[in-house]
């Protein structure tokens, strides 16, 4: 079932995602596209019921105000302007001030149907995947995280045994993470899973690399190289499945918004990529991804597990990665997750983890002066990963976590709690 679509054209607004989510809450599917999309590209969607020109503070790029192509106004569907002067050839529709105006535009002007739900979304995506892939095989980067797991469920539904899952242990996984992935997907779900231990290879590439963007690009590029090697051992592999979601794309930069950080599956992809990408979740926010997983029938623990970045602990071992600090991150993270689970916070807090900076501080151990690293704890709550608030963790829990980290993790003499919301901070440190 092809769902009705409202297209939001990004003309410099910082509220594109807010508007998209409001439209979806009303039961109508919406997507955000660049301001210079062509009329032909819009017509190719086949189900566009209306267009919203979403202007804002970033409408001026390189000294020139951005605008849509004039032919957009001739597509025959209603057009609404939000904080953007419309073309003289367009029907002057009212600005968007409130929810009633939006509802009127959707259901009276556009005559859109409220048929946006996960069941219909999955049906649409399964059809698109089958159309794209045909009888070829898809190689999926399966980290075991929420996004890649939901993509796996979607691809199994769409193409079955044409899917080959590859789990790469890049040496930057959480404690016992790879072992868990193999157990769940190969032993319990009987997925076609290839396990690759490339930890030494990744760590060698990352040696002495300090810049976060460079680390992300190295990790993303090396992932692709590993997948290419694995694909070379198989026949018919022409597609690469990825768990890209909408916040990944937004934070990697748009034509009117500067990059926050490159995500390994967006800004980290090499230019000579040999695969066509299959990214069925790229227009979903995190909460929608989880809802999609539930609809697909995936295990609850898998769908609601802790988010984990593609570059793994590589962006939580701040600065140049060393094995000593990497192990400190891995062990402190395991302690944090264990104690949060005991306190019931694993069901309350959206994301929590530890990071270890590359600088040291003075401390005392065994009546002697030591110069060791610190562990920083971060615990946040969010709905869509675009903004985040700090969890007010009970003091007794923090004391217990601190006590264990200081006594069980080698090379650490200090524990801190990060109180920074997003924005101005991001969820991850790098």
* pLDDT mean over 391-395: 96
Contact 181, 143 (CB under 8 A): yes
pLDDT score at 109: 93
Q: Decide if pLDDT at 198 tops 50.
A: yes
Contact 409, 331 (CB under 8 A): yes
DSSP code of residue 175: T
Q: Strands, DSSP E only, in 306-424?
A: 351-355, 360-365, 368-381, 389-390, 412-417
Q: What is the spatial distance between Cα 126 and Cα 420, in angstroms, rounded to a whole number?
A: 40
* pLDDT mean over 192-207: 94
In 3D, which of 302, 308, 327, 307 has the Cα closest to residue 317? 327
Q: Decide if pLDDT at 90 tops 80.
A: no
Q: Decide if pLDDT at 260 tops 50.
A: no
Q: What is the torsional sign of CA 234, 239, 244, 249?
A: positive
- Cα distance from N-terminal residue to C-terminal residue, the chain: 40
pLDDT score at 22: 92
Contact 114, 29 (CB under 8 A): no
pLDDT score at 91: 43
Strands, sheet with 48-55, edge to edge from the N-terminal-most edge strand: 29-34, 5-11, 48-55, 79-82
Residues 209-255 pLDDT 10s:
999 999 999 998 998 898 788 888 888 789 999 888 887 777 654 55
Q: Decide if pLDDT at 398 tops 60.
A: yes
Contact 106, 26 (CB under 8 A): yes
Q: Decide if pLDDT at 183 tops 80.
A: yes
At residue 161's C-alpha, the angle toward residues 155 and 166, to 5°, is 70
* pLDDT mean over 27-33: 92
Contact 151, 243 (CB under 8 A): yes
Lowest mean pLDDT among 47-61, 102-116, 372-386: 47-61
Strand partners, 53: 9, 81
Check residues 31 and 273 and name the one with the higher pLDDT. 31
| Residue percentage of the chain with pLDDT more than 70 | 91
pLDDT band at 399 (very low <50, low <70, confident <90, very high): very high
pTM: 0.70
Q: What is the spatial distance between Cα 365 and Cα 243, in angstroms, rounded to a whole number?
A: 44
The residue whose two tokens read 């029907």 is 91
Burial environment of residue 284 by CB neighbours within 10 A (0 to 12, 13 to 18, 19 or more): buried
CA 408 to chain centre: 32
Q: What is the dihedral of CA 265, 309, 212, 385, to 10 degrees?
A: 90
Tell me whether the omega of the peptide bond preceding residue 350 falls within 30 degrees of 0, making it cis.
no
Q: What is the spatial distance between Cα 115 and Cα 47, in angstroms, rounded to a whole number?
A: 12
Q: What is the spatial distance between Cα 362 and Cα 360, in angstroms, rounded to a whole number?
A: 7
Considering the chain, what is the average pLDDT of its residues? 87
Residues 124-138 pLDDT 10s:
899 999 999 999 999
Helix (H) or strand (E) holding 278: strand 276-278
Residues 59-71 pLDDT 10s:
666 667 788 898 9
pLDDT score at 352: 96
Per-residue b or e along 151-188, where b marks 16 or more CB atoms closer than 10 Å to that residue's CB: bbbbbbbbbeebbbbbbbbbbbbbbebbeebbebbbee
Lowest mean pLDDT among 19-33, 215-229, 311-325, 357-371: 215-229
* pLDDT mean over 34-60: 88
Q: What is the spatial distance between Cα 319 and Cα 357, in angstroms, rounded to a whole number?
A: 7
Which residue intervals of 207-322 are DSSP H helices?
A: 212-232, 246-251, 286-296, 300-303
Q: What is the spatial distance between Cα 420 and Cα 430, in angstroms, rounded to a whole number?
A: 14
């Amino acid at each position: 079932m092809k769902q009705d679509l409202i297209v939001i054209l990004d003309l410099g607004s910082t509220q594109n995602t807010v508007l998209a989510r409001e439209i979806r809450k009303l039961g109508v599917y919406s997507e955000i596209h660049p301001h210079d999309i062509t009329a032909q590209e819009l017509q190719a969607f086949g189900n566009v019921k209306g267009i919203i020109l979403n202007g804002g503070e970033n409408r001026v790029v390189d000294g020139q105000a951005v605008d849509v192509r004039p032919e957009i106004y001739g597509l025959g569907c209603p057009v609404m302007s939000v904080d953007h002067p419309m073309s003289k050839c367009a029907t002057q529709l009212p600005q968007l001030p409130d929810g009633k105006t939006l509802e009127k535009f959707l259901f009276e002007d556009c005559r859109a149907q409220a048929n946006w739900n996960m069941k219909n979304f999955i049906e649409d995506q399964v059809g698109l995947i089958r159309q794209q892939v045909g009888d070829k095989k898809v190689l999926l980067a399966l980290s075991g995280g929420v996004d890649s797991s939901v993509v796996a469920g979607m691809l199994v539904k769409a193409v079955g045994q044409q899917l080959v899952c590859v789990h790469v242990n890049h040496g930057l996984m959480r404690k016992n993470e790879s072992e868990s992935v193999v157990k769940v997907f190969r032993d319990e779900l009987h997925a076609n899973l290839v396990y690759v231990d490339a930890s030494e290879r990744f760590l060698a590439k990352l040696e002495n690399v300090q810049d976060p963007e460079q680390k992300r690009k190295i990790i993303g590029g090396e992932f692709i190289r590993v997948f290419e090697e694995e694909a070379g051992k198989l026949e018919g592999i022409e597609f690469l499945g990825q768990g890209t979601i909408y916040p990944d794309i937004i934070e990697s930069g748009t034509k009117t918004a500067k990059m926050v950080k490159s995500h390994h599956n967006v800004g980290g992809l090499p230019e000579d990529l040999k695969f066509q990408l299959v990214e069925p979740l790229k227009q979903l926010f995190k909460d929608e991804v989880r809802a999609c997983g539930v609809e697909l029938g995936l295990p609850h623990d898998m769908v609601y597990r802790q988010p984990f970045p593609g570059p793994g602990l590589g962006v939580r071992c701040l600065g140049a990665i060393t094995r000593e600090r990497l192990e400190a991150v891995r062990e402190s993270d395991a302690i944090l997750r264990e104690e949060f689970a005991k306190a019931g916070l694993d069901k309350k807090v959206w994301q929590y983890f530890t990071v270890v900076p590359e600088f040291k501080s003075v401390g005392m151990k065994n009546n002697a002066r030591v110069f060791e690293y610190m562990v920083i704890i971060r615990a946040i709550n969010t709905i869509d990963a675009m903004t985040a608030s700090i969890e007010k963790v009970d003091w007794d829990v923090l004391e217990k976590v601190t006590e264990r980290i200081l006594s069980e993790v080698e090379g650490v003499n200090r524990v801190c709690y990060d109180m920074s919301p997003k924005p101005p901070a991001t969820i991850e440190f790098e």
